[in-house]
């Protein structure tokens, strides 16, 4: 089974609320080293934490990170972005491109770049942070990009399984961070989310449904569209 004890972990988006929790919890569970990456990495008061500049939308930056961190055994694709507009018709072209690059292409390209490194390790792991909105298309391009990442994660899982790389997809609704400050719905504590993710990883699970919303929305994938989106009934009335 994958384990954090003695692991070398690389976390994208480590400056944020969820990323910071991943850093601390990985060390608490025995990680030997954590690469805490961000476009502008912060300073950490722990010699086990290595700040590393990484822009997941830039191929040269990704390659530089691979060269700087050849000992990684656990990759956590946590970095993400959102835009306030709820619909793809109201987004600007730049908002759409930016979200696709940050939420879909960035994590995919990071995983592809680190795949040879991870494939050479025993019990290596990739963790991709998706969203419950992968399965609920009410957040415009954000929903679309997270759905795309979900599909890509499933493909990576199949392709990397022969090399022994364990791939975990994480779904969660709102988390109590600055990115979800606008939301009025219940929010999950980042510490609870991270503990849930690591427990699932070390149990060998492939998918994490971190809250009730994620459980309900995945179950809704087999439901009639009118049940998931009742506004369609009103439209056809």
- Residue 177: predicted pLDDT: 57
Hey, how many other C-beta atoms are within 10 angstroms of the C-beta on 233? 11
Tokens for 24, please give them: 């601390």
pLDDT tens by residue, 42-66: 999 999 999 999 999 999 999 999 9
d(CA 59, CA 68): 14
Query: Is 63 in contact with 38 (CB distance < 8 Å)?
Result: no
Residue 235 has pLDDT above 90, yes or no: no
d(CA 145, CA 106): 11
Coil, helix or strand at residue 217: helix
d(CA 104, CA 109): 9
Confidence (pTM):
0.94
CA–CA–CA angle 48, 198, 202 (5° rounding): 105
Q: Please report, for the chain, the start and end positions of each structural domain, with discontinuous segments joined by +.
A: 8-236
Active-site positions read 142, 146
Note the CATH architecture for domain 8-236: 3-Layer(aba) Sandwich (3.40)
pLDDT tens by residue, 170-216: 999 877 655 554 655 666 888 999 999 999 999 999 999 999 999 99
């Amino acid at each position: 089974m994958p384990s954090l004890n003695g692991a070398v972990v690389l976390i994208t988006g480590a400056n944020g609320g969820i990323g910071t929790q991943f850093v601390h919890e990985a060390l608490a569970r025995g990680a030997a080293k954590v690469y805490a990456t961000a476009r502008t990495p912060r300073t950490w008061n722990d010699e086990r934490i290595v700040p590393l500049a990484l822009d997941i939308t830039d191929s040269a930056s990704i390659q530089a990170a691979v060269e700087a961190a050849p000992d990684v055994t656990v990759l956590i694709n946590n970095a993400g972005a959102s835009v306030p507009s709820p619909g793809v018709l109201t987004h600007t072209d730049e908002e759409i491109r930016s979200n696709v690059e940050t939420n879909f292409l960035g994590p995919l390209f990071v995983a592809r770049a680190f795949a040879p490194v991870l494939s050479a390790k025993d019990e290596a792991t990739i963790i991709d942070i998706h969203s419950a909105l992968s399965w609920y298309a009410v957040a415009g391009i954000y929903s679309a990009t997270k759905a795309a990442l979900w599909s890509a994660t499933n493909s990576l899982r199949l392709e990397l399984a022969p090399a022994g790389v364990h791939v975990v997809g994480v779904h969660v609704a709102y988390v109590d961070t600055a990115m979800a400050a606008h939301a009025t719905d219940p929010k999950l504590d980042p510490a609870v989310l991270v503990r849930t993710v690591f427990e699932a990883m070390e149990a060998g699970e492939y998918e994490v449904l971190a809250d009730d919303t994620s459980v309900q929305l995945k179950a809704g994938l087999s439901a009639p569209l009118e049940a998931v989106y009742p506004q369609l009934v009103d439209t056809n009335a």
